[in-house]
A and B are shown apart, each in its own frame.
Chain A
Amino acid sequence: MRRYIARQLVQLVVVVLGISLLAFAILHVLGDPVLLLLPQNAGKEEFARYHRLLGLDRPLYVQYWKFLSSAVVGDFGKSWYADTPAFKLVLERMPPTIYLTFSGLFVALLIALPLGTLAALRRHSWVDSLCTTVAVAGQAMPLFWLGIMLIIVFAVRLKALPASGYGTWQHFLMPAFCLGAALAPITMRLVRSGVIEVMSMEFIKTARAKGVAEPMVVVKHALRNACIPVITVLGLQFGQLLGGAVITETVFAWPGVATLTVESIRNQDFPVVQCAVILLALIIVSVNLVVDVLVGLIDPRIRAA
Chain B
Amino acid sequence: MSTVSAPGKLELAELGPVRTQEHEPERATLRRLLRLRWGVGAGVVLLVIVACSALATWIAPHDPLAVDIRHRLSPPAWMDGGTRDHLLGTDPVGRDLLARMIYGGRVSLVVGVVAVLMSATIGVLLGLAAGYFGGNVDWLIMTGINVMLTFPFVLLALAVIAVLGPSLGNMIIVLGVAGWPIYARVVRAETLTIREREFVLAGRALGMSHARLVFRQILPNLVSVIVVIATLQVAQVIILESFLSFLGLGIQPPTPAWGNMLGEGRLYMLNSWWIATFPGLAIFVTTLVINLMGNALRDWLDPHSKL
* Residues of A that sit less than 8 Å from B by CB: 11, 14-15, 18-19, 22-23, 26-27, 30-31, 123-124, 136-137, 139-145, 148-149, 151-152, 156, 193, 200, 202, 205-206, 209, 239-240, 242-243, 246-247, 250-251, 258, 261-262, 265-266, 268, 273, 277, 280-281, 284-285, 288
Q: List the B residue with the shortest CB-CB distance to A267.
A: B162
Q: Given A19-B150, A152-B273, is A142 in contact with B243 using a C-beta cutoff of 8 Å? A: yes
Q: List the B residue with the shortest CB-CB distance to A273.
A: B159
A-B contact count (CB 8 A): 135
Is B147 touching A18 in the complex (CB atoms < 8 A)?
yes
Q: Given A26-B163, A30-B164, A268-B162, is A243 in contact with B153 using a C-beta cutoff of 8 Å? A: yes
Cβ-defined partner of B270 (8 Å) among A142, A156, A209? A156
Question: Is residue B132 contacting chain A, with contact meaning CB distance below 8 A?
Answer: no
Cβ-defined partner of B160 (8 Å) among A30, A140, A145? A30
Stretch from B64-72, B93-101, B280-288, B297-305 forming part of the interface with A: B280-288
* Residues of B that sit less than 8 Å from A by CB: 9, 12, 15-16, 20, 27, 31, 143-144, 146-147, 149-156, 158-164, 235, 239, 242-243, 246-249, 262, 265-266, 269-270, 273, 276-277, 280-281, 283-284, 287-288, 290-292, 295, 306
Q: Given A15-B147, A205-B12, A209-B12, is A142 in contact with B280 using a C-beta cutoff of 8 Å? A: yes
Is B9 touching A140 in the complex (CB atoms < 8 A)?
no
Q: Pull 25 A–B residue pairs with CB atoms less than 8 Å apart, ordered by A.
A: A14-B146, A18-B146, A19-B147, A19-B150, A30-B164, A141-B287, A143-B239, A144-B243, A145-B262, A145-B276, A145-B280, A148-B265, A148-B280, A149-B276, A152-B269, A152-B273, A152-B276, A200-B16, A239-B151, A239-B152, A240-B152, A246-B154, A246-B158, A258-B155, A262-B158
Instruction: Give complex CA distance A284, B147 in Å.
Output: 11
Is B266 touching A193 in the complex (CB atoms < 8 A)?
no
Cβ-defined partner of B27 (8 Å) among A18, A124, A251? A124
Question: Which residues on the A side are within 8 Å of B158 (C-beta)?
Answer: 246, 261-262, 265
Is A242 touching B152 in the complex (CB atoms < 8 A)?
yes
Would you call the interface of chain B mostly helix, strand, loop, or mixed? Answer: helix
Contacts A143-B239, A284-B151 supplied; 7 other A-B pairs, CB < 8 Å:
A19-B150, A22-B151, A26-B163, A140-B284, A141-B287, A142-B280, A242-B152
Instruction: Give complex CA distance A15, B144 in Å.
Output: 8
Interchain residue pairs A-B with the least CB separation, the first 7: A243-B152, A145-B280, A18-B147, A140-B288, A31-B163, A265-B162, A140-B287
Instruction: Give complex CA distance A280, B159 in Å.
Output: 14
Is A14 touching B149 in the complex (CB atoms < 8 A)?
no
Question: Which residues on the A side are within 8 Å of B27 (C-beta)?
Answer: 124
Is A202 touching B9 in the complex (CB atoms < 8 A)?
yes
Is A284 touching B164 in the complex (CB atoms < 8 A)?
no
Taking the closest CB of chain A, its distance from the CB of B175, in whole angstroms, is 14
Is A144 touching B262 in the complex (CB atoms < 8 A)?
yes
Q: List the B residue with the shortest CB-CB distance to A17.
A: B147
